[in-house]
Amino acid sequence: MLSFVRRSFTASVAGKKVGFLGLGNMGLPMATNLKKAGFDVTGYDVGEKQRQSAAEASLDIATSIEDAVKGADFIITALPKTEHVEAVLK
């Protein structure tokens, strides 16, 4: 039964695009796990170090927030403070 559920889940997420904003201590492992689960993940972070770590983890890296979320089925943020989320929404 578990293998059936896993196959069904994988088929349902295949090709689903996720825009992931914030690739730090929490965001990078979360984005990586989404990619392993079959999602098409494009990430963005303001920090060069975080973008480099994400690229080394084989994530697609956007050059802007707009590029990260363009055409996304889901948008996920892993940001440290409310003002960072508010800045993204502007």
Which domain CATH number covers 8? 3.40.50.720
Query: What's the pLDDT tens digit per position in 36-59?
Result: 999 999 999 999 999 999 999 999
Tell me which H or E stretch contains 28.
helix 27-36
Residue 86's pLDDT is 74
Q: What is the pLDDT of residues 4-41, one digit of tens each?
A: 545 555 556 667 999 999 999 999 999 999 999 999 99
Can you give the pTM of this predicted structure?
0.80
Closest by CA position to 22, among listed 47, 40, 57: 47
Q: Tell me which residue range forms the domain holding 22.
A: 2-89
Helix, coil or strand: residue 3: helix
**What's the pLDDT score for residue 3?**
54
Domain count, the chain: 1
